[in-house]
């Protein structure tokens, strides 16, 4: 599914494939797509099950396999640039791993505020409780204090949209359960259709196999008490092959204005730095474009 302000055909420009977060919806990337245009086109993968008809995928591996097949329809060959927010980062990692295993080349792999939750599960650590809710409220409050009036309105509007979407998901899940009960099927709410809950469960269960992948990790300036590891749990999967991008945003804010402008700039620098490196290797002399640092 293409995003507003994007051009999934690329037309000679690099294409960034974006994977949904736990909510399953692509609309959270709208501002990022607009900020990346016109230098980078984007193409997004939305979670199955949001329509209330198709069954959601239950594992990160299933999501990744499905999205890799769709990716190849859009871009049959070449270097695949992938990025994802929150649990979408785990899907990106697994997609890249499957792409590499098939002999193809993953390119830029961006993880936006994406913690390897499987590393916590393996250590036997529990999921967040009431203290995390208080921290979440504090992060939002601090973000609002730093925004202009227009940015506050947009920020709150986006959060209200996400809350409404979650409520609709719960309603669809309940209706699906009642429909199954009428047909004689026993419905278990824990394995029902609510996409965000299913995606959260998948992220906590996923244990990333070790690989030689290079990750670019976009880390918020602060994080929750239970998410304190510097490389956000990904070191045990890729070792030191992590490029850290420190953001000025709090958790939940880097995809919204004004921080999304910073995020888009860091993504563009990563893309075009790679392009310049390849051009230098081919030509044997420095190459420079107008948007490149130092030009």
Q: What is the DSSP string of 244-278?
A: EEE-SSPTT-TTSTTHHHHHHHHHHHHHHHHHHHH
SS3 9: coil
- Could you tell me which of 114, 122, 78 has the C-alpha nearest to residue 242? 114
Per-residue pLDDT band for 281 (boundaries 50, 70, 90) equals very low
Share of the chain above pLDDT 70, in %: 67
Per-residue pLDDT band for 294 (boundaries 50, 70, 90) equals very low
Per-position DSSP letters for 197-255, written without gaps between them: HHHHHHHHH--PPP----EEEEE-SS--TT---TTTT-HHHHTT-EEEEE-SSPTT-TT
Is residue 293's pLDDT more than 50? no
SS3 84: strand
Residues 6 or more apart whose CB falls under 8 angstroms from that of 191 comprise: none
Separation of alpha carbons 36 and 51, rounded Å: 28
**For position 151, what pLDDT does the model report?**
75
**For position 146, what pLDDT does the model report?**
74
Question: Who has greater pLDDT, 202 or 169?
Answer: 202
- Where does the chain have alpha helices with state H? 30-36, 60-74, 88-101, 117-122, 130-145, 149-182, 195-205, 235-238, 259-283
Is residue 283's pLDDT more than 90? no
178-234, pLDDT tens digit by residue? 554 444 443 333 333 488 889 999 999 999 999 999 999 999 987 766 667 789 999
Per-residue pLDDT band for 168 (boundaries 50, 70, 90) equals low
Average pLDDT, the chain: 78
43-81, pLDDT tens digit by residue? 999 999 887 778 899 999 999 999 999 999 999 999 999
**For position 274, what pLDDT does the model report?**
62
97-106, pLDDT tens digit by residue? 999 999 998 9
Is residue 2's pLDDT more than 70? no
Separation of alpha carbons 46 and 244, rounded Å: 26
Residues 6 or more apart whose CB falls under 8 angstroms from that of 14 comprise: 40, 41, 81, 271, 275
Mean pLDDT for the stretch of residues 269-285: 55
| Selection from 111-115, 152-156, 195-199, 223-227 with the highest mean pLDDT | 111-115
Residues 6 or more apart whose CB falls under 8 angstroms from that of 249 comprise: 143, 220, 221, 259, 262, 263
**For position 144, what pLDDT does the model report?**
72
Domains and CATH numbers, the chain: 15-283 (3.40.50.1820)
Query: What is the layout of strands, in order, in the sheet containing 106-112?
Result: 41-45, 15-19, 80-85, 106-112, 215-219, 242-246
**For position 36, what pLDDT does the model report?**
95
- Could you tell me which of 33, 72, 32, 24 has the C-alpha nearest to residue 52? 24
Per-residue pLDDT band for 170 (boundaries 50, 70, 90) equals low
Per DSSP, what are the bridge partners of residue 15?
Answer: 41
Per-residue pLDDT band for 152 (boundaries 50, 70, 90) equals confident
**For position 251, what pLDDT does the model report?**
85
Mean pLDDT for the stretch of residues 130-137: 66
Separation of alpha carbons 46 and 26, rounded Å: 6
């Amino acid at each position: 599914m293409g995003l507003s302000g994007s051009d999934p055909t690329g037309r000679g420009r690099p294409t960034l494939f974006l994977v949904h977060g736990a909510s399953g919806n692509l609309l959270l990337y709208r501002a990022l797509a607009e900020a990346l245009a016109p230098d980078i086109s984007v193409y997004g993968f939305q979670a199955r099950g949001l329509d209330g008809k198709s069954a959601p995928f239950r594992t990160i591996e299933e999501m990744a396999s499905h999205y890799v097949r769709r990716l190849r329809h859009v871009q049959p060959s070449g270097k695949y640039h992938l990025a994802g927010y929150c649990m979408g980062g785990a899907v990106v990692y697994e997609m890249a791993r499957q792409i590499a295993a098939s002999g193809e080349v993953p390119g830029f792999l961006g993880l936006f505020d994406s913690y390897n939750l499987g590393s916590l599960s393996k250590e036997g650590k529990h999921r967040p409780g009431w203290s995390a809710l208080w921290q979440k409220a504090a992060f939002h409050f601090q973000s609002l204090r730093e925004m202009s009036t227009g940015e506050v309105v947009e920020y709150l509007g986006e959060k209200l949209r996400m809350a409404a979407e979650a409520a609709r998901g719960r309603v669809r899940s309940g209706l699906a359960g009642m429909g199954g009960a009428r047909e004689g099927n026993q419905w278990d709410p824990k394995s029902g259709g609510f996409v965000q809950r299913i995606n959260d469960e998948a992220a906590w269960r996923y244990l990333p196999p070790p690989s030689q992948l290079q990750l670019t990790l976009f880390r918020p300036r602060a994080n929750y008490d239970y998410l304190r590891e510097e490389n956000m749990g990904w070191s045990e999967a890729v070792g030191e092959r992590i490029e850290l991008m420190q953001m000025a945003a709090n958790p939940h804010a880097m995809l919204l204005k004004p921080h999304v402008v910073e995020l888009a700039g860091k993504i563009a620098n990563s893309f075009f730095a790679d392009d310049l490196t390849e051009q230098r290797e081919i030509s044997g002399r420095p190459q420079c474009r107008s948007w490149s640092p130092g030009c």
